Amino acid sequence: MNQNDRLVARLGYTFKDKSLLKLALSHRSYGKQNNERVEFLGDSLLNFIIAEALFAKFPTAKEGQLTQLRANLVKGETLAEIAREFGLGDFLLLGEGELKSGGFRRASILADAVEALIGAIYLDSNSSMPTCRERVLAWYATRLDKVELKATAKDAKTLLQEYLQERKMPLPTYTVLAEGGEAHSRQFTVECTITGKSKPCSAVGNSKRIAEKLAAEKMLSQLTNA
């Protein structure tokens, strides 16, 4: 069994077009033909498949709870864990600089490669969502079995900040747009903004803190659905 056959066995999918597998494993440091575009596709597919699975698993969960659960499952740290379970670092195609600096162990590179593999499987299977879904759910089976609604203990502001930090994006700012109401029933309208990224999201709550959390929840949902 050659090296790629070992990886195929771990992935549970045999590529008809071997060039797609090579593309998915090719970091941008390796050359112009790299996995950035197919990673973009895989990221979107992963978000949809996990959202769909959580929607079915938790029929009474609120949007915010589902958003938080999905963010935990698709974040870079989780994807890097899956990559390590596959031993994916041994199969990555890296440029000389990344090889010398240990790029095959870097969490961000491993996570990107998993997303690229998802995109590559989708393309190789003639855009078959059932095939792609089956592989992703198999990779996530243990994690999906263990996930519980109480795992949403982190509030949306914390999850949003973690999501942005992982992707080296600007941190959010929260602005009170309006406040009013009676003393016993105050209402605050807060806007969440990320400089140069996405459109602002606003929410209303009976305290500034609640309004910020709701706005962060909307922003997180917008980013992970982009």
Tell me if 212 is assigned to a ligand binding site.
no
**Does 39 count as an annotated binding residue?**
yes
| Distance (Å, whole) CA 91 – CA 73 | 23
Angle CA 210–216–220, to nearest 5: 145
The distance from CA 93 to its chain's CA centroid, rounded to whole angstroms, is 22
Question: Per the residue annotation, which of 43, 124, 212, 217 is the catalytic one?
Answer: 43
Q: Please report the sign of the dihedral spanned by the C-alpha atoms of residue 78, residue 81, residue 85, residue 88.
A: positive
Q: Is 148 annotated as a binding residue?
A: no
Radius of gyration of the chain (CA): 20
Separation CA 223–CA 166 (nearest Å): 13
User: Annotated catalytic, 43?
Assistant: yes
124 tagged catalytic: no
Kindly give, in sequence order, each residue whose CB lies less than 8 Å from that of residue 98, ignoring residues fewer than 6 positions away.
Answer: 27, 29, 104, 106, 109
Residue 51 tokens, joined: 């959202």
Closest Cα to residue 56, out of 67, 66, 46? Answer: 66
Which token pair is 154? 């982190």
Q: Which of 5, 36, 85, 115 is catalytic?
A: 115
What are the tokens at 206? Answer: 């009976």
Residue 185: CB atoms within 10 A of its CB come to 8
Dig out the tokens for 171 from the structure. 């941190």
Active-site residues, by number, are: 43, 115
Annotated binding-site residues read: 39, 112, 115
Annotated binding-site residues for Mg(2+) read: 39, 112, 115
